[in-house]
Amino acid sequence: MKAQCGTVWGVNEPAAGIPIPPSPRPGDTVAVVAPSGPPDSGRLARGVRVLEGLGLKVVIGAHVLDRDRYLAGSDADRARDLQDAWCDPAVSAVFCARGGYGATRTLGLLDWEAMRAAAPKTLVGSSDVTALHSAFAAELGVASWFGPMPACSTISDPEGPEPRTFESLTAALAGMPPPVTGDRVIVPGEATAPVTGGNLSLLAALCGTPYALSARGRIVLLEDVDEAPYRIDRMLTQLLQAGALDGAAGFVLGSWVDCGDPYPVLEELLAPLGVPVIAGLPVGHGTPQFSVLLGALGAIDAKSCSLTYSTGGVDKAL
């Protein structure tokens, strides 16, 4: 049931977002790595051609096509590829090939001191890459893009990338992120705060780790795929009971592909928090798949059911 707009919620003086790395520019080198599951080689090749079509030079991590069960090679090799790409001064952005599972297994193998010493750069990925977004924000203090990945269908389809997904990604890389508009208002209002969150399953899995979600003073993005409503209930309840959602400034809910009807659970558990909640944003596992800048200062406007950015600090590029 859609709510009507009304009260303005949120923090009185929203905290500033964390630094936004420079955007890649035509002629820059970007790296594609696989910190999670093994990508399909054909999809990966098509996704690389899409990035090259933007004028970028693309280098591939040494172990991207390795396979170890459901992982893209060993934990050590996946971590090494990611760290090498981040620490390479010639690389201006790091794209994760796909999601799946495995990013959390690399977190304890990364040399965070070495990565902090490297120049900040853009990280792009979604789904399982939520673990990296959370860790990079905590350890490196940089904003990063929750968006489509080169070996996923919205970018690597044989007929070409899905147009709206591609438009959002290119605008994001250009430092001009467009508004992301949903279709449902669960709790009306407005909020301006840094954006955090990502895939619900990963956020629940990070509870009790150094990279656990802290929603205080932040707008929280949530989305998932292939999760029945009772499992969404379980994961949200875990986050609530762990205090991870305490003090949230608002919520933006993305796609819930093959999750049945999650909205009764989402409304039951989130509406009592008394902050703006908008839903139906094309972010996550659906099509189209818009890009969201985690760590940047965002704004919820329930009147337009949209998430926009009020950073002014995103560099223009492509």
| Active-site position among 144, 267, 285, 291 | 285
Question: What HEC string does the chain produce?
Answer: CCCCCCCCCCCCCCCCCCCCCCCCCCCCEEEEECCCCCCCHHHHHHHHHHHHHCCCEEEECCCCCCCECCECCCHHHHHHHHHHHHHCCCEEEEEECCCCCCHHHHHHHCCHHHHHHCCCCEEEECHHHHHHHHHHHHHCCCCEEECCCCCCHHHHCCCCCCHHHHHHHHHHHCCCCCCEECCEEEECCEEEEEEEEEEHHHHHHCCCCCCCCCCECCEEEEEEECCCHHHHHHHHHHHHHCCCCCCECEEEEEEEECCCCCHHHHHHHHHHHCCCEEECCCCCCCCCCCCEEECCEEEEECCCCEEEECCCCCCCCC
| Active-site position among 190, 223, 227, 267 | 223
214 noted as active-site residue: no
162 noted as active-site residue: no
227 noted as active-site residue: no
| Active-site position among 23, 127, 134, 144 | 127
- Please list the active-site residues: 127, 223, 285
